Amino acid sequence: MNKTALITGASSGIGLELARIFAKNKTDLVLVARSENKLTALSKEIINSTGVKVKVISKDLSVLNNCIDLANELRNENITIDYLINNAGFGNLGFFTDTDLQKEIEMINLNITALTYFTKIYAKEMKLRGAGKILNVSSTAAFQPGPLMAVYYATKAYVLSFSEALANEFNGTGVTITTLCPGPTESGFLSAANMNNTKLVKGRKLPTSAEVALFGFNAMMNGKTVAVQGLMNKIGAQSSRFLPRKFVTSVVRKIQETR
């Protein structure tokens, strides 16, 4: 019998590519995102090319009750989750006093609350079975404060700290928790966050979502705790731990500004 992966934010970018990778490895899928049309198209592609089972669930996971409903639906259908991929999330560029509060609350709910809820539910089940893997998608943003994206950077710092702590708690249980920390990636995220004209992104050749997804998949399968994709991203993540915080924050401010 095939194992099953639950992937949030599966309609585009890294989540979509992870769905393809899992399917090629004969893993059944539960794909979750807001866009039912995109999920349906992806499920048809995957079923036709690999023959695995695909369940599509269209929900806005920034609403906690939708997360609860999703978990209840899977429980009622006796679907066991062997791999949990908490990929759903978004960012927003701008001065904190200018950005939309409701959008930032939704960001916190999605990037933090939904991820924490699903991790709680499925980590407990995995621990009882003595097997399972969780991939929480953070960002290189997790390693330093982020002026002009203050809330987003803070949410990703939470994901990294939370996941590293749990990875330690689950030592020896048969369950592993991996945090994927990509840098800027070719995906819909940059456009949605209004980041295409920032110094961080403009004019740079970025890794593709497929490259980052494969890196994250391999890291999770190998039980790695923190996976930072790309040499320069690794250097940046490590250097920010040793340089003065005020200096690091100033550098981030400069690269977040538009050209």
The DSSP result for 55-102, as a single string, is EEEE--TTSHHHHHHHHHHHHHTT---SEEEE-------S-TTTS-HH
| Cα-Cα-Cα-Cα dihedral sign, residues 250, 233, 92, 159 | negative
DSSP 140: G
SS3 206: coil
| Helix-strand-coil split of the chain, %, nearest 5 | 50, 15, 35
Q: Which of 83, 117, 122, 152 is catalytic?
A: 152
CB 23 within 8 A of CB 129: no
Q: Give me 33's structure tokens.
A: 């995102």
Amino acid occupying residue 6: L
Listed as ranges, residues in the chain with pLDDT below 50 are none
Contacts of 202 (CB under 8 A, 6+ apart): 196, 259
Please indicate whether residue 152 is annotated as part of the active site: yes
Contacts of 31 (CB under 8 A, 6+ apart): 7, 10, 11, 19, 39, 42, 43, 54, 55, 56, 57
Please, how many CA atoms are within 13 Å of residue 59, restricted to the half-sphere of its CB? 22
The closest alpha carbon to 88, from 135, 153, 52, 158, belongs to 135
* List of domains in the chain: 4-256 (3.40.50.720)
pLDDT tens, residue by residue, 163-201: 999 999 999 999 999 999 999 888 666 655 566 666 565
- Measured between alpha carbons, how far is 256 from 259 in angstroms, rounded to an integer? 9
The pLDDT of residue 92: 93
What is the CA 70 to chain-centroid distance, rounded? 18
What is the CA 78 to chain-centroid distance, rounded? 25
CB 19 within 8 A of CB 29: yes
Max intra-chain CA distance, the chain: 53
The pLDDT of residue 234: 86
**Strand pairing partners for 105?**
none
Q: Give one word for 39, left, alpha or beta, with left for phi > 0 and alpha for psi -120 to 50.
A: alpha
The pLDDT of residue 188: 64
CB 30 within 8 A of CB 5: yes
